[in-house]
Structure 1
Amino acid sequence: MRAIFVMIKCEMGEAYRVAREAADSIAQLSELYSTSGQYDLLGKFYLEPEQDIGLFVTEAIQKLPGVKDTYTLITFNAFAAASGEAPGNR
């Protein structure tokens, strides 16, 4: 599994409804936070290695009613606080 983070900008007044819909309908969603600033929500999603990131974002997230824009961050390594190593390198 690989993690991606997607920042989601919603139509005015729609952030909580979008968050509920995402939580109820997207199986790959791990965590979803409301945020301040340019974007309204920050989601962490786990995808299979062969899953197309662009297709996932456009089909699963951007098509949610009330979503205005997205910004996707692709991750490379996750580091543990205690050792500073990537979990797969232990």
Structure 2
Amino acid sequence: MNCVFIQLRCKPGKTYEVAEAVYAREITSELYSTSGDYDLLAKVYIPKDEDVGKYINDHLLDIPNIERSLTTLTFRAF
């Protein structure tokens, strides 16, 4: 599994709706509300044989009211 962190910027007033939709898909191991430029932070484990970008597009970014995302790939844990 590849661990990635995905930050989501939502349309104003839509953060809770987006969070509920993300949670309902059961693809995140953790989901947080955050301050700053992005509204939500999701920790997602992507299967090794999946293309990271395609997986995120197909499973997450088609949720309505997401304006922008920022994905951080992780590497070896220390």
- Structure 1 runs of 4+ aligned residues shifted over 6 Å read none
Q: Partner residue of 1:86? A: none
Bigger Rg, which one: 1
* Greater share of residues in strand: 2
How many Å separate the matches in 2 of 1:68 and 1:60? 16
In structure 1, C-alpha distance between the alignment counterparts of 2:66 and 2:58, rounded to whole Å: 12
**2:57 counterpart SS class:** helix
Distance 1:61 1:67 in 2: 9
Q: Deviations over 1:29-74 (max 9, x none)?
A: 1000000000000000011111111111212221101111000000
Q: How many residues are aligned here?
A: 78
Identity over aligned pairs, percent: 37
The code of the aligned residue for 1:4 comes to: V
Q: Could you state the TM-score of these two structures normalised by the residue count of structure 2? A: 0.93
RMSD between aligned residues: 1.0
- Say whether 1:61 aligns with 2:60: yes
Unaligned stretches of 5+ in structure 1? 80-90
**Normalised by the size of structure 1, how large is the TM-score?**
0.81
Give matches, 1:3-42, under 5 Å: 3-25=3-25, 27-42=26-41
Say which SS state the counterpart of residue 69 (structure 2) adopts: strand
